[in-house]
């Protein structure tokens, strides 16, 4: 049984766990993220890893971080909710720990976990769409993560779906995540309650009597009770989700979409209207199969589990899913002496259990 540590670094918390090769969590720790300081965030990561290392023998350490990770998976180019700007995260954390770490984008790590152990198990062509505050996403093609030339592939939240539409945090207008996200759901409900308070009585009651009190959990609760106004909000957001998935299917033709993020906890309230809109909007419908649309299964642990599994495969690529790693492969890491070789290996990690051919280092 080989163990690995996965760390999920978000804007508010650092969560880390020891994960076995079946994706099960054996021990877990959480700390709040000192998001304003890159150095203190890196120290918080090193601290949780050190604490877990004290009680477990592991073969690899993986970090899943919320932000743009460069194509060598070493530098955080940009993180919207952390102070990282062109930060050499891999090197900084390795210096603090004295051993190798593998860095990955958090949505990529989550998608990997869902494809290995969760909702998309057995599928080789998968797209994860995480509907949370905004939209996070990741692409798996032929059993491998697709990262793009510079590591930044899979940002469909900023595809513009409405010309001159709502202003987005990225500076553009009409981005998909302005219509299909937790923020959009709440904005929709509040706007409805202000415009038509007599139709939003249950939402207002649960929100403490004012439109500003209406939150995501309030809308989910009201919708679960069958409140028509809340259901209408989910239909609107789900409709935008399904249309966007149809557009993504026009480009990628995946077998399975996994819908994660906080809004996906509403389950069928979101997925049913999404599936209906997807089937209406899909080009060539009636003459092609519909992709599966599934709710993510691993919840908030997906990033941890995926980061650990990707690190295990990168560090011990000859034994991706079973058997002991090479003796001392972790402590004798060569990554710091030869990061290029390591990055090439990492980029070719393939999902075990599929008929993906063995990883072959690409020419760089
Ligand atoms: Zn945008």
Measured in Å, residue 248 CA sits from the centre of ligand 1 at 17
Q: What is the pLDDT of residue 9?
A: 93
pTM attached to this predicted model: 0.84
**The pLDDT of residue 353 is above 70:** no
Q: What is the pLDDT of residue 349?
A: 59
Measured in Å, residue 161 CA sits from the centre of ligand 1 at 10
**The pLDDT of residue 223 is above 90:** yes
- How much of the chain, in percent, has pLDDT values that exceed 90? 78
**What is the average pLDDT across 191-210?**
96
Measured in Å, residue 148 CA sits from the centre of ligand 1 at 19
Q: Which two tokens stand for residue 214?
A: 């209406």
Supply the Cα-derived Rg of the chain in whole angstroms. 21
**What is the average pLDDT across 128-157?**
94
For 228-244, the pLDDT digits (tens) are: 999 999 999 999 999 99
Measured in Å, residue 162 CA sits from the centre of ligand 1 at 11
For 11-68, the pLDDT digits (tens) are: 889 999 999 999 999 999 999 988 889 999 999 999 999 999 999 999 999 999 988 9
**What is the average pLDDT across 205-225?**
96
Measured in Å, residue 180 CA sits from the centre of ligand 1 at 12
Q: What is the pLDDT of residue 355?
A: 43
For 247-266, the pLDDT digits (tens) are: 999 999 999 999 999 999 99
Measured in Å, residue 353 CA sits from the centre of ligand 1 at 36
Measured in Å, residue 177 CA sits from the centre of ligand 1 at 7
Q: What is the pLDDT of residue 89?
A: 96
Measured in Å, residue 7 CA sits from the centre of ligand 1 at 27
Measured in Å, residue 20 CA sits from the centre of ligand 1 at 37
For 69-124, the pLDDT digits (tens) are: 999 999 999 987 788 899 999 999 999 999 999 999 999 999 999 999 999 999 99
Q: What is the pLDDT of residue 330?
A: 40
Measured in Å, residue 146 CA sits from the centre of ligand 1 at 21
Measured in Å, residue 173 CA sits from the centre of ligand 1 at 7
Measured in Å, residue 174 CA sits from the centre of ligand 1 at 7
């Amino acid at each position: 049984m080989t163990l690995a540590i996965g760390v999920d670094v978000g804007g508010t918390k650092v969560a880390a766990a020891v994960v076995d090769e079946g994706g099960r969590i054996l021990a877990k720790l959480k700390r709040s993220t000192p998001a304003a300081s890159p150095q203190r965030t890196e120290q918080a990561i090193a601290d949780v890893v050190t604490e877990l290392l004290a009680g477990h023998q592991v073969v690899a350490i993986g970090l899943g971080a919320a932000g743009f990770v460069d194509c060598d998976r070493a530098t955080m180019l940009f993180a919207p909710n952390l102070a990282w700007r062109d930060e050499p995260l891999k090197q900084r954390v390795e210096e603090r720990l004295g051993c190798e770490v593998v860095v990955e984008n958090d949505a990529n790590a989550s998608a990997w976990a869902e494809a290995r152990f969760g909702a998309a198990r057995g599928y080789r062509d998968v797209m994860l769409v995480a509907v949370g505050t905004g939209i996070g996403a990741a692409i798996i093609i032929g059993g491998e993560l697709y990262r793009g030339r510079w590591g930044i592939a899979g940002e469909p939240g900023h595809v513009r779906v409405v010309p001159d539409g709502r202003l987005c945090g990225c500076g553009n207008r009409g981005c998909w995540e302005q219509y299909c996200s937790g923020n959009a759901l709440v904005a929709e409900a509040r706007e409805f309650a202000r415009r038509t308070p007599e139709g939003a009585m249950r939402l207002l009651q649960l929100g403490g009597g004012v439109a500003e009190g209406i939150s995501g959990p309030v809308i989910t609760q009201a919708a679960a009770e069958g409140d028509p106004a809340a259901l209408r909000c989910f239909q609107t957001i789900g409709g935008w989700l399904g249309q966007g998935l149809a557009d993504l299917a026009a480009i990628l033709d995946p077998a399975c979409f996994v819908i994660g993020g906080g809004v996906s906890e509403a389950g069928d309230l979101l997925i049913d209207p999404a599936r209906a809109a997807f089937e209406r909007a899909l080009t060539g419908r009636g003459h092609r199969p519909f992709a599966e649309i599934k709710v993510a299964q691993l919840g908030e642990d997906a990033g941890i589990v995926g980061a650990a599994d990707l690190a295990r495969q990168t560090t011990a690529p000859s034994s991706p899913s079973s058997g002991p790693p090479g003796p001392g492969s972790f402590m004798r890491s060569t990554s710091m002496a030869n990061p290029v070789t390591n990055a090439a290996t990492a980029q070719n990690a393939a999902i075990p259990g599929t008929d993906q051919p063995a990883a072959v280092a690409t020419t760089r």
